[in-house]
Amino acid sequence: MKKTIYEKMGGAYIRYGDYLIPCLTLPEEKQRFIGVWWQKHLRYLKEYRRGIYLNLITSGKLNDYLADIEEQAQERFERVVEQMKQAQGITEQLKADDTLEWIGRMNNIQACAREIVDNDIIYQ
Protein backbone atom coordinates (compact mmCIF):
# COMPACT_ATOMS: atom_id res chain seq x y z
CA MET A 1 0.00 0.00 0.00
CA LYS A 2 1.32 3.44 -0.94
CA LYS A 3 2.30 5.72 1.95
CA THR A 4 0.47 8.99 2.39
CA ILE A 5 2.27 12.30 2.86
CA TYR A 6 1.32 12.14 6.54
CA GLU A 7 2.99 8.72 6.89
CA LYS A 8 6.08 9.90 5.01
CA MET A 9 6.43 12.72 7.55
CA GLY A 10 6.38 10.22 10.42
CA GLY A 11 2.67 10.12 11.19
CA ALA A 12 0.68 7.01 12.01
CA TYR A 13 -2.93 5.91 11.87
CA ILE A 14 -5.18 3.96 14.24
CA ARG A 15 -7.93 1.74 12.89
CA TYR A 16 -11.28 2.61 14.46
CA GLY A 17 -13.91 0.32 12.96
CA ASP A 18 -13.64 0.75 9.20
CA TYR A 19 -11.83 4.08 9.47
CA LEU A 20 -8.18 5.03 9.77
CA ILE A 21 -7.79 7.99 12.13
CA PRO A 22 -4.49 9.90 12.36
CA CYS A 23 -2.68 9.78 15.71
CA LEU A 24 -2.35 13.43 16.63
CA THR A 25 -0.58 14.47 19.80
CA LEU A 26 0.66 17.77 21.12
CA PRO A 27 4.25 18.11 22.27
CA GLU A 28 4.83 17.78 26.00
CA GLU A 29 5.17 21.06 27.86
CA LYS A 30 6.71 21.67 31.24
CA GLN A 31 4.26 23.14 33.72
CA ARG A 32 5.02 26.53 35.20
CA PHE A 33 3.30 28.67 37.80
CA ILE A 34 -0.32 29.55 37.03
CA GLY A 35 -1.45 32.83 38.55
CA VAL A 36 -4.22 35.34 38.24
CA TRP A 37 -2.58 37.22 35.33
CA TRP A 38 -2.14 33.95 33.44
CA GLN A 39 -5.83 33.12 33.85
CA LYS A 40 -7.01 36.58 32.80
CA HIS A 41 -4.85 36.59 29.68
CA LEU A 42 -5.91 33.06 28.74
CA ARG A 43 -9.58 34.07 29.01
CA TYR A 44 -8.85 37.15 26.88
CA LEU A 45 -7.10 35.06 24.21
CA LYS A 46 -9.93 32.54 24.06
CA GLU A 47 -12.61 35.23 23.70
CA TYR A 48 -10.98 37.97 21.62
CA ARG A 49 -7.80 36.59 20.02
CA ARG A 50 -8.96 33.15 18.96
CA GLY A 51 -6.41 32.81 16.12
CA ILE A 52 -3.44 33.56 18.37
CA TYR A 53 -4.82 31.16 20.99
CA LEU A 54 -5.21 28.32 18.47
CA ASN A 55 -1.74 28.90 17.03
CA LEU A 56 -0.16 28.81 20.48
CA ILE A 57 -2.03 25.72 21.60
CA THR A 58 -1.34 23.72 18.44
CA SER A 59 2.34 24.65 18.43
CA GLY A 60 2.67 23.64 22.09
CA LYS A 61 3.85 27.09 23.18
CA LEU A 62 0.79 28.24 25.12
CA ASN A 63 2.08 27.45 28.62
CA ASP A 64 5.44 29.12 28.04
CA TYR A 65 3.75 32.18 26.54
CA LEU A 66 1.32 32.49 29.44
CA ALA A 67 4.07 31.93 32.02
CA ASP A 68 6.05 34.79 30.45
CA ILE A 69 2.96 37.02 30.57
CA GLU A 70 2.49 36.06 34.24
CA GLU A 71 6.07 37.01 35.10
CA GLN A 72 5.92 40.31 33.21
CA ALA A 73 2.58 41.26 34.75
CA GLN A 74 3.67 40.40 38.30
CA GLU A 75 6.91 42.37 37.97
CA ARG A 76 5.04 45.35 36.54
CA PHE A 77 2.42 45.17 39.30
CA GLU A 78 5.05 45.17 42.05
CA ARG A 79 6.98 48.02 40.42
CA VAL A 80 3.85 50.18 40.02
CA VAL A 81 2.76 49.55 43.62
CA GLU A 82 6.19 50.54 44.90
CA GLN A 83 6.28 53.70 42.77
CA MET A 84 2.79 54.74 43.87
CA LYS A 85 3.66 54.11 47.54
CA GLN A 86 6.66 56.41 47.23
CA ALA A 87 4.69 59.06 45.34
CA GLN A 88 1.95 59.13 47.98
CA GLY A 89 4.33 58.96 50.92
CA ILE A 90 3.03 55.69 52.34
CA THR A 91 5.58 54.40 54.84
CA GLU A 92 5.94 51.79 57.54
CA GLN A 93 5.50 54.62 60.04
CA LEU A 94 1.98 55.25 58.70
CA LYS A 95 1.30 51.52 59.01
CA ALA A 96 2.35 51.61 62.67
CA ASP A 97 0.49 54.86 63.50
CA ASP A 98 -2.79 54.43 61.58
CA THR A 99 -3.27 50.89 60.32
CA LEU A 100 -6.74 51.45 58.86
CA GLU A 101 -5.57 54.47 56.86
CA TRP A 102 -2.60 52.46 55.57
CA ILE A 103 -4.87 49.54 54.56
CA GLY A 104 -7.25 51.86 52.71
CA ARG A 105 -4.44 53.57 50.81
CA MET A 106 -2.75 50.28 49.95
CA ASN A 107 -6.01 48.79 48.68
CA ASN A 108 -6.49 51.84 46.49
CA ILE A 109 -2.93 51.63 45.14
CA GLN A 110 -3.25 47.92 44.41
CA ALA A 111 -6.54 48.43 42.58
CA CYS A 112 -4.95 51.15 40.44
CA ALA A 113 -1.92 48.97 39.77
CA ARG A 114 -4.14 46.06 38.69
CA GLU A 115 -5.92 48.36 36.22
CA ILE A 116 -2.60 49.54 34.81
CA VAL A 117 -1.31 45.98 34.36
CA ASP A 118 -4.59 44.84 32.83
CA ASN A 119 -4.55 47.66 30.28
CA ASP A 120 -0.83 47.49 29.46
CA ILE A 121 -0.16 43.73 29.43
CA ILE A 122 -3.18 41.50 29.88
CA TYR A 123 -5.64 42.97 27.39
CA GLN A 124 -3.19 43.75 24.59
Entry pTM? 0.73
What share of the chain has pLDDT > 90, as a percent? 65
pLDDT of 71-103, one tens digit each? 999 999 999 999 999 999 999 999 999 999 999
Query: Which ranges of 60-98 does DSSP label H, i.e. alpha helix?
Result: 62-88, 92-97
pLDDT of 40-76, one tens digit each? 999 999 999 999 999 999 888 898 899 999 999 999 9
Confidence label for 1 from pLDDT (cuts 50, 70 and 90): low
Tell whether the model's pLDDT for residue 8 goes beyond 90: no
Question: How far apart are the C-alpha atoms of 21 and 12, rounded to whole Å?
Answer: 9
